[in-house]
Amino acid sequence: MPIEVRFATSGDKELIAEMIARLKALNEELDPLFKTVENLEEEVEKYVEKTLEENKNCFTLVAYDTEHGELAGVIRIELVDRIFYKPRVKAVITDIYVRPKYRRKRVAALLLEKAKEEAKTRGAGMMTAVYPAGNLIAELFYENMGFKTLQLEKHIQL
């Protein structure tokens, strides 16, 4: 399948928002603390809009199916200054989503590869991913991509 990875543009806004909203809805199934807000679509749209405007500390890449002329997936990265540690700049994968019909075809692997290249160009010395503890597919994906556990996030409900 001919997949091209490129920077997201404002023309992709709606489809990216749809994919990220689906991702958040999937998280909701994994833990009650990921219960989504009532106006999820609206919030995701604002989030995507802001991301596309602010190019300094984050970027979004999309996988585009050139044969069918549609988006297959998306990855969003935030660059974070670690202040106390070296490497100082880390690239955090905040969102990665591949539409169901494109899964298991290495689309996410390709998005990740391109995101790594771009993050390096922007000065990042490491990359991390954040996802709900119950997301076994994400676990297997990141394991296959060579990611190791760096820190754990514990929670208690108040």
Ligand X SMILES: CC(C)(COP(=O)(O)OP(=O)(O)OC[C@H]1O[C@@H](n2cnc3c(N)ncnc32)[C@H](O)[C@@H]1OP(=O)(O)O)[C@@H](O)C(=O)NCCC(=O)NCCS
Contact positions vs ligand X (CB under 6 A): 23, 26, 95-98, 103-109, 131, 135, 137-138, 140-141, 144
Closest CA to 65 of 8, 3, 5, 110: 3
Query: Shortest gap between Cβ of 49 and ligand X (angstroms)?
Result: 20
Query: Shortest gap between Cβ of 151 and ligand X (angstroms)?
Result: 17
Give 86 or 149: the residue with its C-beta nearer to ligand X. Answer: 149
Give 85 or 103: the residue with its C-beta nearer to ligand X. Answer: 103
Coil, strand or helix at 29: coil
- CA 29 – CA 15 distance, rounded (Å): 22
Query: Shortest gap between Cβ of 65 and ligand X (angstroms)?
Result: 12
Give 81 or 113: the residue with its C-beta nearer to ligand X. Answer: 113
Q: Closest-CB residue for ligand X?
A: 108
Residue 118 is inside which H or E element, if any?
Answer: helix 107-121
Query: Shortest gap between Cβ of 86 and ligand X (angstroms)?
Result: 26
- CA 125 – CA 129 distance, rounded (Å): 14
CA distances to 40, 95, 145 from 23, in Å: 11, 8, 20
Give 22 or 120: the residue with its C-beta nearer to ligand X. Answer: 22
